[in-house]
Copies of this chain bind each other. A is one copy, B any other.
Amino acid sequence: MNGARAVIRTLVDAGVEVCFANPGTSEMHFVAALDDVPQMRAVLTLFEGVATGAADGYARMAGRPAATLLHLGPGLGNGWANLHNARRGRAPVVNVVGDHALTHKRLDAPLESDLDALAGAVGWWRRSLTTAHVGDDVADAVAAARRGQVATLVLPADVSWSEGGALGVAPPDRPARTVAVPDLPLGPDTVLFLGGDALGAEELLAAARVAAGTGARLMAETFPARMARGAGLPDVPKLPYPPGPALAALADVAHLVLVGAPAPVAFFAYPDTPGSFAPEDCTVHVLTEPGESALAALTALAERVGGDPVLASASVPTVPDRALDPQVLAAVVGAVLPEGAVLVDESLTSGFGLFPATAGAPRHDVLSLTGGAIGDGLPMAVGAAVACPDRPVLAVQADGSAMYTLQALWTMAREQLDVTVLVCDNGAYAILEGELRNVGAAAGGERAGRLLDLGSPALDFVSLAAGMGVPGVRVTTGPELAEALRQAFAEPGPHLVDAVLRS
């Protein structure tokens, strides 16, 4: 058994059964070995950022890692931004990055680069140096990923092609630790700040019982990796993104109880605005940290002090019969979202109305942009659809961000994934127009404004989708959008809906 086959078989034995691949020469033995291990599903992407973002989305929905197959330092570089998002959301990912043969490194060939620095800058990494141990190295990478990390195994070409590979065995997945629940001051001036694993359905229900029994408020982190939502679950607000509303939301809080979430801080610094959102005289308590079971802690707390939870009733907006704007778009999504949907939210400014509009929709999961590196939405939709082939995936996607990793559409078409891409087409980096004001920069100059404008030339997302084999339609009103989304959900395979939001 050569090294490549040992890698793939060890991955499969550890439950890593999907590989999002963007291979090159140094990965050819890995590619060849795929024919011998049919349990590994290889999904081709046209750009490494799609592969890594798909692995991020897969991990969030499957709860276990996918692998990526990348090509040397530049391939890892291309995939780095979405690995950053995975890292910030603690999504497990196993990267296999092919590199020059051990015998070739000293020659400083053109593709030689400081690959190890890139790998180390985003999580666990190891360079596999002997074929005999490559299986063990893979097992260690899987174990590292299962601890909520991006794990990168650098695989030299000759380690891959040489014979003498042996399988490694990843240790069994460890459940999240149960922590003792301390006495907490729970009352109307307390916020349970929920993030990470505290945003699943059972966890939210337990938290709602605590809130009902104590008067404490619930609040979710601004960009959860995955959050359960919809009718029958508590309607937990998210901490707002802009500093003003965020500070206001926490202004009267005396006790902030962190449950799987870090203490809330501003996404960016702004002149004369605090970076930390908790009031200075507020006491911060930690109920659970990542790796500790939010469900166990919240359940214990609910058994101690819980009451009858307040849950969202089934109630969806009506479709507004007018031209699209962000509120109309949000109402339409709320009106048509199917049961069990995975809503991948990289809508940015156009999606600020989405959250309230979908609170009473059928049960669904929301994936958001954990690390702020735009261009994760469409790739995550690929990964979520591969992980959950029986669930409809809706990617609500800002236009500027869509252009980062638009190649994801091609993989959706190739794999005939049930993804509906809803492009929020406002023809601008609208978020930056706001940010230009937020940082106090003097806006309004023509040259500065030109750097925030996507309108000349206008992007034609229907043409772009057609170019990659995805049928698309452009809509301008609420009813048109509703009709287009319903059709997209009803038909198998990917669809793109270009929602024109010109204000």
Contacts and interface: CB of A to CB of B under 8 A. Distances in A.
B46 A403 contact: yes
B46 A269 contact: no
A30 to B, nearest CB: 9
Copies of this chain, whole number:
2
A46 B451 contact: no
A476 B223 CA distance: 49
A158 B268 CA distance: 11
Contacts of A74: 80-81, 84-85, 371-373
A390 interface: no
A77 interface: yes
A264 to B, nearest CB: 10
Contact of A29 (B75, B266, B414, B439): B439
Nearest to A445: B35
A14 to B, nearest CB: 20
Contact of A23 (B34, B35, B451, B454): B451
Given A161-B271, A456-B414, A276 B439 contact: no
Given A81-B77, A118-B117, A267-B110, A432 B157 contact: no
Interface stretch (A59-67, A305-313, A460-468): A460-468
A443 interface: yes
A70 B107 CA distance: 32
B463 A223 contact: no
Interface in A425-474: 431-432, 435-436, 438-443, 445-448, 450-454, 456-464, 466-469
Interface stretch (A98-106, A129-137, A321-329, A355-363): A98-106
Interface string A22-50: 01111011011011001000101011010
Contacts of A114: 120-122
A38 B80 contact: no
B21 A410 contact: no
Contacts of A371: 74, 110-111, 113
Contact of A268 (B100, B275, B413): B100
Contacts of A375: 47, 78
B451 A42 contact: yes
Contacts of A249: none
A347 interface: no
A26 B438 CA distance: 11
B113 A84 contact: yes
Contact of A432 (B25, B103, B161, B268): B25
Given A266-B104, A275-B103, A432-B25, A81 B81 contact: no
Nearest to A469: B457
A362 to B, nearest CB: 29
A377 B122 CA distance: 28
16 contacts: A24-B435, A32-B442, A34-B447, A34-B448, A35-B442, A46-B454, A47-B404, A77-B80, A109-B268, A110-B370, A111-B373, A114-B121, A157-B268, A157-B439, A406-B407, A467-B467
